[in-house]
Amino acid sequence: MGGLAVLARAAGHKVTGCDANVYPPMSTQLAAQGIELVNGYDPDQVDLNPDMYVVGNVITRGNPLMEAILNRGLPHVSGPQWLREHVLQGRWVLAVAGTHGKTTTSAMLAWILEHAGLNPGFLIGGVPQNFDVSARLTDTPFFVIEADEYDTAFFDKRSKFVHYAPRTLVLNNLEYDHADIFPDLAAIETQFHHLVRIVPGNGLIVAHGGDAALERVLARGAWTPVERFGGNGAWQAGLPDDKGAFDVSHEGAGRGRVMWDLLGEHNRMNALAAIAAARHAGVPAAGAVDALSQFRGVKRRMETRGVVNGITVYDDFAHHPTAIATTLAGLRRKAGRARILAVVEPRSNTMKLGVMKAALPDSLKDADQVYCYSGGLNWDAAAALAPLNDKASVHADLNHLVATVAADARSGDHVLIMSNGGFGGVHEKLLDRLGSA
């Protein structure tokens, strides 16, 4: 929604917004754009008398402002629908969907197009460090969008991505998530099938070649050419060297070497997807490889927040067990035998419901110590993490968690903080505590 606000402002509209809680980097980005934020959902905000209320999917019936809008019959629309009608119409949309890697792959793709001089617009669920904004509107046909399967609004229960009408579609991976709205994986596969059905015949679907769920989706019908990466796909990534650089090949022919230091196989797969999608838009693979060698990553994706007394503190958005495991595996490769202290907040709706609590211990196996914040959980985090024995501790008080991590950390350690929210400013609190030790 913050990105939509930026796009609306760029399109010439006066924009205000309200939320119960905003936090960096989005809050700072909106302030820099001159977009006024109102705290809370006071119904008196209808006195602003806007031409249109754009409603995010966090809003439910009973929200005071939403009830005032409905009672007065005021014009409102979902964010994805507004985007389709006012920004995406007539553009070449390159959409990136999947359970994991959407933000990073979208950022890579936007940067490849930018590097090639195509000046794309974009809307990404994070802040790419090559751009320092999460959304941009340009006068070119190309628009990159992170395509989420979460529902659109309380009055539109379709997945958001069906509004985007992509010409180029990336399907990174697919597994069970969003337990608050989907009963099982099959229900999510149906939504992805709906997405595949609307890609035109002159478009392209770029799909992970080793993902069984995606294969089931495509087997239900695809009317668009499909290129696969990884697994049994035509696009392949070689093994990385000690610094993370790797070779890219297509149908057995070398296409160049990505010279970067990003961690993990997941990022190599993200890169292949972005290269293949950019090629559909006219960027040769060699040019895409060169662009990725200058890719600077995304804020909150293995972002180094600071180094104090030899202790490195990272921030990462990982919250699903698969993402936690993948992120830790990448850091382990970098850290070698150095200690990794993992600080995790199970904050997503799926994790709060406890649906995947049994998978947490195994996802954290690459950490030497685990610190779990249990605030807001209605399940027993200590019991769930019991298989980790004394390697894990659970903290209901954030300040106590910070004090414990600071006391345990020593020079050479890597502290990896994982949450899909602001986590109470834990990163700065920990850095400050380490600095005063």
Task: Please tell me whether residue 180 adopts helix, strand or coil conformation.
Answer: coil
* Average pLDDT rounded to a whole number, residues 189-207: 97
Instruction: Share the mean pLDDT of the chain.
Output: 92
Q: Is residue 250 located within the same domain as residue 322?
A: no
pLDDT in tens, 23-37: 676 777 788 888 988
Q: Is residue 223 located within the same domain as residue 370?
A: no
Write the DSSP symbol of residue 148: -
Q: Count of domains in the chain?
A: 3
* Average pLDDT rounded to a whole number, residues 356-371: 92
Strands 311-316 and 392-395: unpaired
For residue 134, being part of any structural domain is answered with yes
Print the domain residue range for 60: 2-78
* Average pLDDT rounded to a whole number, residues 355-359: 85
Please identify, among 78, 104, 138, the residue that sits at the C-terminal boundary of a domain: 78
Q: Is residue 259 located within the same domain as residue 274?
A: yes
For residue 284, cis peptide bond before it (omega within 30 degrees of 0) = no
For residue 297, being part of any structural domain is answered with no
Q: Is residue 165 located within the same domain as residue 226?
A: yes
Q: Is residue 102 located within the same domain as residue 230?
A: yes
| Residue 243 pLDDT > 90 | no
Q: Is residue 205 located within the same domain as residue 286?
A: yes
Q: Is residue 87 located within the same domain as residue 73?
A: no
For residue 298, being part of any structural domain is answered with no
Using a CB cutoff of 8 Å and minimum separation of 24, what contacts does 352-358 make?
A: 352/376, 352/377, 352/378, 353/179, 353/180, 354/378, 354/379, 354/384, 355/179, 356/179, 356/320, 356/321, 357/381, 357/384, 358/384
> How many Å apart are CA 192 and CA 196, to the nearest integer?
6
Predicted local distance difference test score (pLDDT) of residue 437: 65
| Residue 351 pLDDT > 80 | no
Q: Is residue 68 located within the same domain as residue 101?
A: no
Q: What pLDDT band is residue 394 in, cutting at 50, 70 and 90? A: very high
Enter the pTM of the model: 0.82
Give percent of the chain above pLDDT 90: 73
Predicted local distance difference test score (pLDDT) of residue 15: 94
pLDDT in tens, 89-131: 999 999 999 998 899 999 999 999 999 999 999 999 888 989 9
For residue 339, being part of any structural domain is answered with yes
> How many Å apart are CA 297 and CA 300, to the nearest integer?
9
Predicted local distance difference test score (pLDDT) of residue 284: 97
Residue 373 burial (CB count, 10 A)? 25
